[in-house]
Amino acid sequence: QVQLVESGGGLVQPGGSLRLSCVASGLIFSRYTMNWYRQAPGKQRELVAVITTGRVTNYADSVKGRFTISRDNIRNTVFLQMNSLKPEDTSVYYCNAIATSEDYWGQGTQVTVSS
């Protein structure tokens, strides 16, 4: 069965960095667009970053210039490098894999930005 497992979250001070990873199994990874979403308490889930099968990337305005999404199709892994973190980046971050009629989610990893 398909599994997406996120890691790399934690507590970081404002201005700090974290690198999230999401390892996929049970699917042909290179055929999926990979997304990172986040959801803060009481807020709707927000699309943060996208990387297509052709490695085209797109970002939410709130993270442009600070976050970088990348993928490794050999290790079936998508990354989210997060720099210059702000308290408003505090959320649970979710990995998502999508293809025609298929949509898979990880369990999420908590990122807390606080001094």
The pLDDT of residue 101: 87
The pLDDT of residue 79: 98
CA distances from 32 to 63, 70, 79, 114 (A): 22, 13, 14, 34
Dihedral sign for Cα 37, 9, 80, 5, please: negative
Please state the rounded mean pLDDT for residues 50-62.
98
Give the C-alpha separation, 40 to 45, whole Å: 7
What digits encode the pLDDT tens for the residues 7-18? 999 999 999 999
Q: Are strands 33-39 and 91-99 parallel, antiparallel or unpaired?
A: antiparallel
